Amino acid sequence: MTPEEIKIKDKDIHAFLEVFDDAKSYGNGILSGKKISIKDNMLFSSHKASAGSKMLENFTAPYDATVVKKIKEAGVIIVGRTNMDEFAMGSSTENSAYGVTKNPHDVGRVAGGTSGGAAASVASGMCDMALGSDTGGSIRQPAAFCGVVGLKPTYGRVSRNGLISYVSSFDQIGTVTKTVSDAELLYNVIKGQDPLDSTTISDDTYKPSRKFLKVIGIPKKFVESEGISDEVRNNFAEAVEKFKSLGYKIKEVELPNLKYALPVYYIIAPAEASSNLARFDGVKYGLHKEGIDGIDDYFETRGAGFGREVRRRIILGTYVLSSGYYDEYYGKAVAARRLITAELRSLFEEVDMMLTPTTPSPAWKVGEKSKSPLEMYLEDIFTVHANISGCPAISLPSGLAGKLPLGIELTADLGREDNLFAAGKDFMGE
Ligand code: GLN
């Protein structure tokens, strides 16, 4: 598709905040000629990067993010920047300051979030692949809603240099593609240790603790939690049968602490976000509003630049970090994070991967959950454990509920993307 054709097709979907008229090929490489979209929170030199926020409406990137540099070297064509929930806070792309992205399978429904634009751009055929970011499910959930493959790599595998921060200890850049083979291809291009991100790791940081034996663990109680839709239950049962028919051994496992992942996430995420977003003070970046004095400038700018959900998270974050509440909330969440991580990692001594649905329900109608932040947070039940522990996870398309796609999710031990690719290709018949 030419930029003009993409713009026409995107009128109904709104996957893109900008289609680049000057998109060009960066030469020969392993991804030569592949059309790729980047999420609006990644810096692409001399192009806008707004993180879906009014705060950065006119912000132009002064340099390339490491991932952007790497895909250029691999020969891609960067077709545009995709819509997202403001500062990557949300689960439906409805929190973007620039309008909602619609699901290409049903434009009355959301595409998921926060990389809703990324998933919709691939699912609708407007590009071949996309880069998204995943802090609590933001690649995997929209991939499931749009019927494509979404990979969140191990924490530290992909450099965050040039990614606008949300929760620095959870954020990870990953891929949205049509196939698992493409996910592997793109992942191999973007991964690697980077002197510009000291949290990145080398390829041999995590040695495999066991040989890949096609053993999958299912946390049965967790998968059967309240609030999981019948469509998802049935689809999941079919996926389990499919894995069995492919020669996988299925083991029921107990992870008693997994149920704390969601509350842990919704304490640590706002805490880190409130600190990361302090930099938007009307002086250093983006929007500036005049008040009656310096302090008032700060209030005016942040009041005008941040949307409701972002303000809610900042308030929650400063609350859980404030003296008197720190031990009760943040301190406890950090301790629980350690328990969840230890529990998951010891599971991976017994099984190669854990299997769950990606989401508790298919894509909802635009506006259906906008009034209830809590309902929206509950949608992340199956994805946040991977970010809390740093483990890699992939969402695979697993069929339809009516015309709406559903996804299943595999989580592997730290550094074991190879297991996800192997099982993913088996499941998809690649
Ligand atoms: N839905 C989660 C949140 O709102 C995750 C978002 C993400 O992964 N960026 O924080």
CATH code assigned at 364: 3.90.1300.10
For residues 65-76, give the mean pLDDT.
98
Task: Specify the DSSP class assigned to residue 393.
Answer: E
pLDDT at 209 over 90: no
Question: 204: which 2 tokens?
Answer: 């041999």
Q: How many CB atoms lie within 10 A of CB 237?
A: 11
Measured from the CA of 90, which atom of ligand 1 is nearest? 4
Residue (of 345, 384, 356, 372) closest to 169 by Cα position = 384
Q: Is the distance from the beta carbon of residue 86 to the nearest atom of ligand 1 less than 6 Å?
A: no
Which of the four pLDDT bands, split at 50, 70 and 90, describes residue 177? very high
Domain holding 127, by residue range, is 1-430
**What is residue 394's predicted lDDT score, i.e. its pLDDT?**
98
CB 47 within 8 A of CB 39: no
Atom of ligand 1 nearest to the CA of 170: 8
Phi, psi of 179 (to 5 degrees): -125, 165
Which of 359, 365, 352, 368 lies closest to 411 in space, CA to CA? 352
Please state, in angstroms and rounded to a whole number, the distance separating the CA atoms of residues 18 and 79. Answer: 9
Asked if residue 89 has its Cβ within 6 Å of ligand 1, the reply is: yes
Pair of tokens at residue 49: 């990067």
Residue partners of 293: CB distance under 8 A and separation at least 6: none
- Whole-model pTM: value is 0.98
Q: How many domains, the chain? A: 1
Q: How far apart are CA 375 and CA 298, in angstroms?
A: 32
CA of 113 to the centre of ligand 1 (A): 7
Residue 198: Cβ within 10 Å count: 9
**Token pair listed for 186:** 């793109």
d(CA 409, CA 164): 26
Q: If DSSP codes are grouped into helix, strand and coil, which group holds residue 26? A: coil
**What confidence score (pLDDT) does residue 406 get?**
98
pLDDT digits (tens, 9 = 90+) for 303-318: 999 999 999 999 999 9
Q: Is the CB of residue 309 below 6 angstroms from any atom belonging to ligand 1?
A: no
Pairing of strands 353-357, 215-219: parallel
- What are the angstrom distances between the C-alpha of 204 and each of 110, 200, 207, 307, 342? 39, 12, 6, 42, 20
pLDDT at 59 over 90: yes
Dump pLDDT digits (tens) for 217-242.
999 999 998 889 999 999 999 999 99
Question: What's the pLDDT tens digit per position in 21-48?
Answer: 999 999 899 999 999 999 999 999 999 9
Q: Write the CA distances from 376 to 45, 89, 162, 333, integer angstroms.
A: 34, 11, 28, 20
User: How many Å lie between the centroid of ligand 1 and the Cα of residue 88?
Assistant: 6
The pLDDT of residue 210 is 87
**Is residue 148 within 8 Å of residue 106, measured between CB atoms?**
no
CA angle 7, 9, 13 (to 5 degrees): 100
CB atoms within 10 A of CB 404: 19
Closest CA to 360 of 262, 215, 427: 262
pLDDT for 208 equals 84
Give me the sign of the Cα torsion angle 187, 189, 191, 196: negative
- Strands 77-82 vs 16-19: parallel, antiparallel or unpaired: antiparallel
Tell me how far apart the alpha carbons of residues 157 and 423 are, in angstroms, rounded to a whole number. 20
Enclosing H/E stretch for 399: strand 393-401
Protein residue whose Cα sits closest to atom 5 of ligand 1? 136
* 296 contacts: CB under 8 Å, gap ≥ 6: none
Q: Which atom, in ligand 1's list, is nearest to the CA of 134?
A: 8
Confidence at residue 371, expressed as pLDDT on a 0 to 100 scale: 87
Q: Specify whether the CB–CB gap between 371 and 248 falls below 8 A.
A: no
Report the distance separating Cα 110 and Cα 97, nearest Å: 15
Does residue 269 line the site of ligand 1, with CB under 6 A? yes
In the numeric block, which tokens belong to residue 153?
Answer: 């790599």
Q: What pLDDT band is residue 198 in, cutting at 50, 70 and 90?
A: very high
| 315 vs 87: CA distance, rounded Å | 15
Spell 158-173 as b/e; 16+ CB within 10 A means b: bbbbbbbbbbebbbbb
52-76 core/surface letters (b: 16 or more CB in 10 A; e: else): bbbbbeebebeebbbbbbbbbebbb
Q: For ligand 1, is residue 359 a contact (CB within 6 Å)? A: no
Other Cβ atoms less than 10 A from the Cβ of 4: the count is: 10
**67 in Cβ contact with 162 (< 8 Å):** yes
pLDDT at 332: 97
Which residues are bridge partners to 16 per DSSP? 82
Q: Say whether 232 sits in a helix, a strand or coil.
A: helix
pLDDT of 95 over the 90 cut: yes
Proportion of the chain above pLDDT 90, given as a percent: 95
**Best mutation site among 135, 268, 311 for ligand 1 pocket (most ligand atoms within 8 Å of CB):** 135
User: What are 60's strand-pairing partners?
Assistant: 48
